[in-house]
Amino acid sequence: MNVHVNGKVESLPTDCSITILIEQMDLVGKRIAVELNLDIVPKSEHLQTQLKEGDVVEIVHAIGGG
C-alpha cells in the first residue's frame, strides 16, 4: 500500500502500524510526534493504529532548546 510520509510516497506492507513505520524509519527511541491525517496520534496508540492506503503521516522530531 502507498502512504504519504513527510511529503513522500512510501510503499508499506498492508498490515503496517505506526509502530512498524517508526521501526522501518529507524526512529525507535527518538523523541518524535506523529500526525495521521491531521490528527496527533499519542505514543500509547502507535501499536494499534493501522495505516491505510492513501493515509498522510507527518513525523517530527522534538528538539529542546533554551
The model's pTM: 0.90
Number of domains in the chain: 1
Instruction: Tell me which DSSP letter residue 9 carries.
Output: E
The contacts of residue 25 (CB under 8 Å, 6+ apart) are: 5, 59
- We report the CATH number of the domain holding residue 28 as 3.10.20.30
Domain span at 41: 2-61
pLDDT in tens, the chain (66 residues): 999 999 999 999 999 999 999 999 999 999 999 999 999 999 999 999 999 999 999 999 877 766
| In-domain check, residue 13 | yes
| In-domain check, residue 66 | no
| Ramachandran angles phi, psi of 41, nearest 5° | -110, 115
